[in-house]
Amino acid sequence: MSVLLWAAVMLIGGTGSVLRFFVDGAVSSVAGRDFPTGTLVVNISGSVILGLLTGLALSHDAALLAGTAAVGSYTTFSTWMLETQRLAEERQQRKVLLNVAVSLVLGVTAAALGKLIGAHL
């Protein structure tokens, strides 16, 4: 493990987080803030890309940089859960169920689809 590789992990991870901030903000400003659509779009788009990278069967270092560092930092589990918990505090039960179910169904479908496409490239 070289220092350079882990420095690249940090640089790419920081960039992925900044990209998430801009995509989330852009989607939220178009779709409104009643439902956490920004996080949903970030997470689903990230899942399809990580699925694709998984299907490509990259080398260890390439998978670490492109998958774990770039796509891993771009998507977020904690914000998804925070927004779900805050919706529950506001007693918006329908939106709670919708946010969990839609993210999961689309997330697994996107990852599976990406993996399938990646394996055929």
Query: Shortest gap between Cβ of 35 and other proteins (angstroms)?
Result: 17
For other proteins (CB under 8 A), the number of binding residues is 56
Residue 117 class from Cβ within 10 Å (0-12 exposed, 13-18 middle, 19+ buried)? middle
Is residue 85 within the footprint of other proteins (CB under 8 A)?
A: yes
Q: Choose which of 81, 93, 97, 119 interacts with other proteins (CB under 8 A).
A: 81
Residue 32 class from Cβ within 10 Å (0-12 exposed, 13-18 middle, 19+ buried)? exposed
Query: How many Å from the N-terminal Cα to the C-terminal Cα in the chain?
Result: 29
Q: Which x/- pattern, by CB under 8 A, does the window 29-48 give for other proteins? A: xx------------x--xx-
Tell me the torsion sign for CA atoms 16, 19, 21, 24: negative
Is residue 118 within the footprint of other proteins (CB under 8 A)?
A: no
Residues 59-78, interacting with other proteins (CB under 8 A): 64, 67-69, 71-78
